[in-house]
Chain A
Amino acid sequence: MNRRGSLFRSLALLLAGASLLLAGCAAAPNKDDPFEPWNRAMYEVHQTVDGAIVKPIAQAYVANVPELIRTGVSNFFGNIDDLFTGINNVLEGRGDQAGDDFGRVLLNSTMGVGGIFDLASMMGINKDKKDFGITFGKWGAPQGPYFFVPLFGPTTLRDGTGTAVRFFLSPIGYINEIPVRNTLYGIGYLDTRAQALSAESVLDTAALDKYRFLRNAYLKNRRFQVYDGKPPPEEDDDQTPPPAVPGNPVK
């Protein structure tokens, strides 16, 4: 508990320091990303550290560990995700969906051997994905400034708070044997990173400016989730041009 606490405290201090430092900086170009220079620097740090250590490990994991085992690992952590999805659906007042989520956890934790097998999906109980950041958003919390956190990825003040809440509630945190707990944290991290590999290679191909492409996509996707897949149009939508004439102007 202590180590987690101090890690989080240093992170919070770091962020607070950064905000103070940057508050005096030049006018921010993006309203969602007032600390862009800082975030870009953090993104560079991430690229370097991740590229040198984490990504190669994740690639080796995908290349050497059979898919069957990796799926089992993903399912194990996915089962914990389902628990939190259920909790958040309750908090959002969506009892019917929460029932499905808890049903999944119950079934997969028992018959699915601790979540390693996703029997619920095979039986047609669909997986959902919710987190505290989305719940806070539905309750009306503004997203706050965007942050890119090295080795963690894109987040916002609201979503980062949600992640912290989840981290302190996570059942893995209540395991008393430190080596077991840390091993699970490690494997969970590796699993998440490995799952992001394919999306990352799409990002590499698609983006002119990866930092910004990722930020825009992250913020849009979170907004989409907060509005249950039906986000209202945004202010900048007035930029939409008239439909192009069918049949190119120049052939």
Chain B
Amino acid sequence: MDQILTKTLLLLALASPLAWAQEAPDALVKRIAEETLTSIRADKELQSGNPGKVKQLIETKLVPHFDTARMTALAMGRNWRAATPEQQSQLTEQFKTLLIRTYSNALTNYRDNTMNYKPLRSNPGDTDVVVRTEVTRPGQAPVQIDYSMEKTPEGWKAYDVIVAGVSLVTNYRDEFNDTVKSSGVDGLVKTLSDKNRGPAPK
């Protein structure tokens, strides 16, 4: 299995010179954030929170740059390994939906924000880095937002977002733990999908 993977990777690497010219993680965060902010500033419907449009923006612009399976594993903690592969993929799907809904709700408030990007502290060979940014809103103290990122064959992907010290991923861990303890992994899948089917709060 490993061998196949190695060979595939090697092949990919040889076949595409792009794989060597992968966009650096901090450059990626900056590009995506600026493109997203530009989209929001240019579009009145996004600013007023048109749910379909916001969802589409997130799914096309942001989601491809997140490793949702790893985020779910991180939120689950040790229970992740107790889940069957099928449960894992269900959990990932539901958790992804929950995060998209959360982001949709938050994103429209970002119009007046400006982002500062702090210099990346990493070595050339690193495959796991933290990209630090700072969001400034008029009249407010800046808020630090850190992205934990890993190097994958499809480019750098974020697996955790930490807003002012609060991880949007691990903040779920003890809730997830308790749900798994009381009603099992399937219970958690159900809790998440019930939550996702509920009306989006205003």
Binding site for B on A (CB under 8 A): 30, 71, 74-75, 78, 118, 121, 126-129, 198, 201-202, 204-209, 212-213, 216-217, 220-221, 223-225, 229, 231, 239-241, 243-246, 248-251
Q: Please, how many angstroms separate the alpha-carbon atoms of A251 and B165 in the complex? A: 33
Does B47 have its Cβ within 8 Å of any Cβ on chain A? no
Q: Please, how many angstroms separate the alpha-carbon atoms of A224 and B143 in the complex? A: 12
Question: Can you name the residue of chain A whose Cβ is closest to the Cβ of B107?
Answer: A202
Given A201-B105, A224-B165, A231-B165, is A212 in contact with B175 using a C-beta cutoff of 8 Å? Answer: yes
Q: Chain B contact residues: over half helix, strand or loop, or mixed?
A: helix
Given A208-B192, A250-B86, is A220 in contact with B174 using a C-beta cutoff of 8 Å? Answer: no
Leading 5 A-B pairs by shortest Cβ distance: A224-B165, A204-B201, A129-B141, A244-B70, A239-B77
Contact sample, A vs B, 5 pairs, CB 8 Å cutoff: A205-B102, A208-B179, A223-B165, A239-B78, A249-B89
Does B202 have its Cβ within 8 Å of any Cβ on chain A? yes
Binding site for A on B (CB under 8 A): 67, 69-70, 72-74, 76-78, 80-81, 85-86, 88-89, 92, 98, 101-102, 104-106, 109, 136, 138-142, 144, 150, 152-153, 159, 164-168, 171-175, 179, 191-192, 195, 200-202
Does A243 contact B174, Cβ atoms closer than 8 Å? no
Does A240 contact B74, Cβ atoms closer than 8 Å? yes
Given A217-B166, A250-B86, is A128 in contact with B141 using a C-beta cutoff of 8 Å? Answer: yes
Question: Can you name the residue of chain B whose Cβ is closest to the Cβ of A128?
Answer: B141
Q: Select one of A71, A221, A240 contacting B77, CB under 8 A.
A: A240
